[in-house]
A and B are shown apart, each in its own frame.
Chain A
Amino acid sequence: MSHEIVRTSETAPPPPKEYPIDEVVFNPPIDIFETAEGLVLQADLPGVATDSLELQIQDNKLSLFGKVSLSVPSEARLIHQEYQVGHFLRSFILSDEVDHERISAKLNQGVLEVVLPRLSKPEPRRIQIQID
């Protein structure tokens, strides 16, 4: 199907070995919407700072790993809990329609935005017919 540019993986793969995970890891919620230029992916990563976010493209797989640092001092005692704090990991399969070279990303107030531009179609080329 031509509109299947980004496919989200059904289950999060186990975190790569090099990350020292000692807390919980979540699959962050995402939005994907179309624009005139391509697709935009937004992911909620509360508590992740720019320097603790890793965004990787390998072959056609885009993975994000956001490491959360606690927003309270370590000596603070948790006395009431309604949510768990954890790192974020999720990966996506990009189709060939995405121009991998022009992918850009920014992180603002805990939201990662990845812009996935569509590959521009080459202009039709006129082929000269030679007469022998």
Chain B
Amino acid sequence: MPVFRWGHTWDPFRDLEREVDQLLAKVSLFHGIRFGRQYPPINVYELDNEFLLTAELPGTRPEDLEVLISGGVLTIKGKRLGPEGISDDRFRRQERPRGVWQRSLTLPDHIQDEKLAAEFTNGVLCIRLPKARAVAPRQIPVTNGNPG
């Protein structure tokens, strides 16, 4: 059966592929719909005197990356935007995640918050969490609260 086209020509397969790519990109990003997990994924390593927390954030500009600590909660947030001046319809393929994200983690008690340090190398964020020295248990005297 002949297929008639009128008006402007179009390429349905190309458009469809792009639509699907964009749809997948939307759901697979930072909302965790597709993978059901938080972004970015984090690994935690332990050394004798510190914990190391790593996350892969390729292409994130250091100025778009923020590491905060408050009340024992570590928050990392940042964004990765698409190339400037390139509209979405110029993309042939779009698999790399982009957008704005934020993640918070509760730190163990024995961390020296003030000595926390972060470095960003080859697109990998590494946060060093120095352990506090073990504190000897302190005996709390119990006094008799009854009057007289």
Contact = CB atoms under 8 A, between A and B. Distances in A.
Interface of A: 1, 3, 6, 8, 29-35, 39-40, 42-49, 71-73, 75-83, 85, 108-111
A109 B41 contact: no
A1 B9 CA distance: 14
11 contacts: A29-B97, A33-B86, A35-B86, A42-B96, A48-B122, A72-B45, A77-B45, A80-B44, A109-B60, A109-B61, A110-B123
Interface in B21-62: 37, 41-47, 51-52, 54, 56-62
Interface residues of B, number: 37
Interface of B: 11, 14, 37, 41-47, 51-52, 54, 56-62, 82-83, 86, 90-97, 120-124, 126
Contacts of B51: 79
Contacts of B122: 46-49, 71, 109-110
A29 B37 contact: no
